Structure 1
Amino acid sequence: VSGTEVELGKVDFEKLIEPLVAKTIQCCKNALNDSQLTANDIEEVIMVGGSTRVPIVKQSVSDFFGKKIHDELNPDEVVALGAAVQADILAGNNKDFLLLDITPLSLGIETMGGLMDVLIPRNSKIPTKAARQYTTQKDGQPGMRISVYQGERDLVRDNRKLAEFNLSGIPGMPAGLPKVEVSFLINADGILNVRARELRSSVEQSIEVKPQYGLTDKEVEKMLMDSIANAKEDMQLRALTEVQTEAKQLIETTERFMQKNNSFLTDKEKQLTLDAIKELNGVMQSGDKDIIHQKVEALNEISRPYAERLMDAAIGKAMSGKNIKDTI
C-alpha cells in the first residue's frame, strides 16, 4: 500500500469481507423467496465470478444450501458459457432445454389517488398475460386515462412511467356502471401490449410498450432496493390514500344523492348530513387514516337510514298493483 509491503492473514481477510459475504447470502435468500422455492429444491449451485474462488465464500454458500457447490467450471467463463447455451436454444439447435425469461419489475396502472395497481408482478414468467376490470368515477364520464407504470412502490409518482393513452367514447352511464377491462400481455420478445375495452359498448384502445427499453441493471436494482427501504412508509401512504379516496367518493355520492332527493329528506337529516360532510372534509388532510375512517363511518351511519328508506319506497312503487307471485 503506497509502496509499503503489507501482509494480511486469512483470518483478518475473512473478517474484513464478512459483511460482503453476508450480503451475498441475503441475495440467495431473496432469490429463493421470489421464486417461492427452498434451499432443498435447488439441485446444483454453480459458482460465478472470480470472487467465488475465496474459500469462505464457497463454504458460506455451501452451508446455506446444504450441499456441495459446483465449482468445477471456470467461474470467469460461466456467464459466457450460459450465453452460448441460450444462443444455441434461440437458434433452434438445442431443443432439450427451455430457458424462461422473467419480468424484473412489476407492471400496473394508476388508479384513484395516484396508487399503483399491479397487474403483472415482478418475476412473472414471460410470456404472460393478466386482466382486471375498472369503472368510472363520475356520472356520464366519456373517457378514461390509462397510465402504465413499472416499479415496486405503492404510489405511481415513485415508479417509472412507461406509457399513457385515453379510452374515449364510453357511453354516458352512471358512475360505477361502465365495465372497462384493462389487459396486459407480454410476448416472448418482452413487448408489452396494453388494451382497454369497455365491455358494454366494445369501445377499445391499445398501445405497445417495451418495458426494458432504456432501463439498465443498476436502475432495476436501485428501484428494488428503494422499494425495500421504503416498504413500511409506502404501506402507510397507501392505507392513507385509500381511505382519503373512499372519503372523497362518499362525499361526492352523498351530495349528489341530496341534490337529487332533497324533498325526501327531513330538515334534521339534511343538517346532520351537512355537518358530517363538513367534519369529514375537515380531517381529510389530517394524515390520520383512523380519524378519517371514523368520520367516513359516521357519515355512512347518518345516510344509511334515508338511503334505505328511499330504496324501500322505490321498490314499493315498482311493486304497486302487482301480485307477488308474478314477480317470482
Structure 2
Amino acid sequence: QLKPSDISKVLLVGGPTRMPVVQKFVEDVTGQKPERGIDPMECVAQGAAIQAGVLAGEVKDILLLDVTPLSLGIETLGGIFTKLIERNTTVPTKKSQTFSTAADNQQAVTVRVFQGERPMAQDNKLLGQFDLIGIPPAPRGVPQIEVTFDIDANGIVHVTAKDLGTGKEQSIRITATQKLSEEDIERMRKEAEDFADKDKERMQQVELVNEADTLVYSTSRMLDELKDKFSDEQKKGIEEKISVVKEALEKDPKDMADLRVKVDAANKAIQDASTELYKKAAPQPGTQASSSSGDAGSAAGSTDEPAVDAEFKEKEASSGASKSKETEKQSGAEKDTKSDTKGKKK
C-alpha cells in the first residue's frame, strides 16, 4: 500500500514499457519521470540469466529473495484451514506444528494440503493429500503427529507427517504451487477480503462446535477418572448439563447463541464442582497455623522427595498430600519438644 510519495525511483522493465503511452501513464501515477539509464529488455534477460545461475548452483554470491504468493496449510477438525506458512514468507523456509487425532483409537490420518487465505479449507485450493497409517490405538488427543512444511529455493513444497510415538512418517512433494496466474492469486486475495465477515462468522461457529465436542469428551473422561471425588449430586448436575450439549451436537445445531449458552452452563457446573473438590482438599486452618509456627522449611512441608512437574495420578496426589500433612505435624511436634527443652535449660 505505497503512496506515490514513498517511491524514490521508477524503473521501466520489459519491452512494452518502450511505448510512450505507458511511460506517460507511469509518470502521471507516480508523479515523477521514469529512469532512462537502463535497457528495458536487456535487464529482463540479465535477471533471467542470474536466476538461472542461482537455481543451477553456479552463482553463489547473489541471493534472490522469493516469497510465497499465498498461505499454505492443512485441513484440521471441522474443516478449518490451519496455516503453517503465511503469505509473503521468504523462501526457502521450513515450519513444523504438532497435531493429534480427533477420535479414540484412530489409526490413520489424512493430511490435506491447501493454498489460500480463506479460514475454511474448502474455500481454498487443494494442492494434494496423503495418509499417515499405523498409528497405535490411543484415546483422542494422545498421539503426537508432527506436520512439517519445507519449501526449497525452487519453490517446491515438501510436506511430511510423522508420528512422534512410532517414528513412522509419510510425505508428499508438491510442485504446482506456482501454477496459479497473477490473476488467480489476486482473485483469491480479493475473495478473502470480500468474504472476511462471513468467513469470520463461519469460523466462530465451527470453533464453538469443536469446543462443545471437546467439552463432552473431556468431561466424560474426567467423571470416569474422578468418580469417587464428586458427590452424587455434583455428578448428576454435570451429567445433565453435558447431556444437553451432546444432544444439541447430535442435532447439528443451527442456533449458535443457544449452543453457547448450553456450553457455558456445562462449564459453570464443572467449575463449581471442581472448586468444591479443591476446597475439600485444602489444609484445615488449624493445621496451617501449627505449620507456620515452625521453621520455614517445616512450614513448607519439605521432604527429601524431588518436585514433580505436570503429570501425576490422582491417587498419588492424594497420598502425597497425606504425607505432607503428616510431615508437617511431625515437624510441629519436634519444634514443640525443642522449645520445651530450651525452657528447661533456662
Unpaired segments ≥5 residues, structure 2:
282-313, 328-346
Letter in 1 for 2:142: L
C-alpha distance in 2 between matches for 1:95 and 1:203: 36
The normalised TM-score by structure 2 is: 0.68
CA 1:297–1:120: 2 relative to 1, 3 Å: same
CA 1:81–1:320: 2 relative to 1, 3 Å: closer
Query: Equivalent residues in 2 for 1:114-153 (5 A)?
Result: 114-153=79-118
C-alpha distance in 2 between matches for 1:117 and 1:245: 14
C-alpha distance in 2 between matches for 1:307 and 1:141: 30
Secondary structure in 1 matching 2:260:
helix
C-alpha distance in 2 between matches for 1:137 and 1:309: 31
2:60 corresponds to 1:59: no
Question: Contact 1:247–1:296 (CA<8 Å) still a contact in 2?
Answer: yes
**Hey, what does 1:299 align to over in structure 2?**
266
Provide Cα deviations, 1:258-298, integer angstroms capped at 9, x if missing partner.
45555654443344334423543566555555553343222
Query: Equivalent residues in 2 for 1:137-216 (5 A)?
Result: 137-212=102-177, 214-216=179-181
Deviation (angstroms), 1:223 = 1.9
* Higher deviation after alignment, 73-82 or 191-200: 73-82
Question: Contact 1:52–1:75 (CA<8 Å) still a contact in 2?
Answer: no
CA 1:199–1:318: 2 relative to 1, 3 Å: farther
Secondary structure in 1 matching 2:323:
coil
Counterpart of 2:194 (choices 229, 241, 256) is 229
Larger Rg over CA atoms: 2
Question: Contact 1:140–1:171 (CA<8 Å) still a contact in 2?
Answer: yes
C-alpha distance in 2 between matches for 1:56 and 1:302: 71
Unpaired segments ≥5 residues, structure 1:
1-28, 33-37
CA 1:153–1:77: 2 relative to 1, 3 Å: farther
Question: Contact 1:162–1:211 (CA<8 Å) still a contact in 2?
Answer: yes
Question: Contact 2:68–2:89 (CA<8 Å) still a contact in 1?
Answer: yes
RMSD of aligned alpha carbons:
3.6
C-alpha distance in 2 between matches for 1:91 and 1:266: 72
**Hey, what does 1:101 align to over in structure 2?**
66
C-alpha distance in 2 between matches for 1:268 and 1:202: 46
**Hey, what does 1:254 align to over in structure 2?**
219
Query: Equivalent residues in 2 for 1:253-292 (5 A)?
Result: 253-258=218-223, 265-281=230-246, 285-287=252-254, 289-292=256-259
Secondary structure in 2 matching 1:188:
coil
Letter in 1 for 2:30: S
